[in-house]
Amino acid sequence: MTHTDVKTALLALEQPERASFVARFFKTRPGQYGEGDQFLGLSMPQQHAIARQFRLLPADDVEQLLHDPYHECRMTALLIWVYQARKTGITGRADLADRYLANRQYVNNWDLVDVTCPAILGEYLLHTDRSVLYDLARQDHLWSQRIAMVSTLAFIRKGQFADTFALAELLLSHKHDLIHKAIGWMLREVGKRSPEALEEFLHDHIRQMPRTALRYAIEKFDSARRQYYLKL
């Protein structure tokens, strides 16, 4: 099997009408964050099914698929790495994480980031130095910064919140709402496991938090508690 076989399978499911809608949803017009991206119109279940079918695709072929201009080809390539990461040991995870980082210019929309970085990068970093996330967060590159933030979901699931808080603090002054949303989402995930830890962070940083990040972070609070934070 090769990357060409995967693309052929994806093309066979192309839905042009849905592709037009999805292209608008992912902001592909000039000047928007997804400018120039191309879509086939496949659903996520369809892409997962093809990724499972080709889950043994060699890494070099996965990289070739990841370089494709079609969004669904890139998503399917990344999903193949997600499936491979779940079945390999620490050495295999290290290789996948390295490849992910080396090719992150192709991980270039929020769905590509969110669906894949916790499993490919975050879970690997549970067992090794995490400074790469801080390097990514300091880059002037939207998707690298979102990768840094969302990768911490793997830590949160293990009850480890320190890096989420540190990266959130580092990115609080960011101008883009896609980073504000990522911060708020990760903080909300912390709050599901430790409301006290989330509220301590909020009390310390409420004045610096973008409103979008705050609204996402407190989404699961009861109405009275949400209003309390919104009025601070």
* Percent of the residues in the chain that have a pLDDT greater than 90, as a whole number: 99
Tell me, yes or no, whether 104 and 114 share the same domain: yes
Tell me, yes or no, whether 73 and 103 share the same domain: yes
Using the 3D structure, point to which of 71, 104, 128 is the last residue of a domain. 128
Q: What is the DSSP letter of 34?
A: T
Q: What is the pLDDT of residues 129-159, one digit of tens each?
A: 999 999 999 999 999 999 999 999 999 999 9
Q: What is the pLDDT of residues 174-189, one digit of tens each?
A: 999 999 999 999 999 9
Tell me, yes or no, whether 102 and 171 share the same domain: no
Tell me, yes or no, whether 160 and 86 share the same domain: no
Using the 3D structure, point to which of 84, 111, 128 is the last residue of a domain. 128
Q: Which range marks the domain in which residue 58 is found? A: 1-128
CATH number for position 18: 1.25.10.90
208 Cβ neighbours under 8 A, 6+ residues apart: 172, 173
Give the lowest-confidence range in 14-18, 87-91, 120-124.
87-91
Q: What are the CA-CA distances from residue 147 to residues 14, 41, 179, 197, 216 (Å)? A: 28, 24, 10, 23, 18
Q: What is the pLDDT of residue 165?
A: 99
Tell me, yes or no, whether 45 and 121 share the same domain: yes
pLDDT at 166 over 90: yes
Q: What is the pLDDT of residues 191-212, one digit of tens each?
A: 999 999 999 999 999 999 999 9
Residue environment code for 66-79, b if the CB has 16+ CB neighbours within 10 A, otherwise e: bebebbbbbbbbbb
Domain count of the chain? 2
Tell me, yes or no, whether 138 and 83 share the same domain: no
Instruction: Select from 63, 19, 62, 61 the least CA-distant residue to 43.
Output: 19
Q: Considering all CA atoms of the chain, what is the largest pairwise distance in Å, rounded to the nearest integer?
A: 57
Tell me, yes or no, whether 169 and 219 share the same domain: yes
pLDDT at 232 over 90: no
Tell me, yes or no, whether 114 and 138 share the same domain: no
Q: What is the pLDDT of residue 122?
A: 98
Q: What is the pLDDT of residue 22?
A: 96
Tell me, yes or no, whether 114 and 158 share the same domain: no
Tell me, yes or no, whether 182 and 124 share the same domain: no
Tell me, yes or no, whether 199 and 101 share the same domain: no
pLDDT at 10 over 90: yes
Q: What is the pLDDT of residues 37-72, one digit of tens each?
A: 999 999 999 999 999 999 999 999 999 999 999 999
d(CA 57, CA 146): 27
Tell me, yes or no, whether 47 and 159 share the same domain: no
Using the 3D structure, point to which of 96, 128, 160 is the last residue of a domain. 128
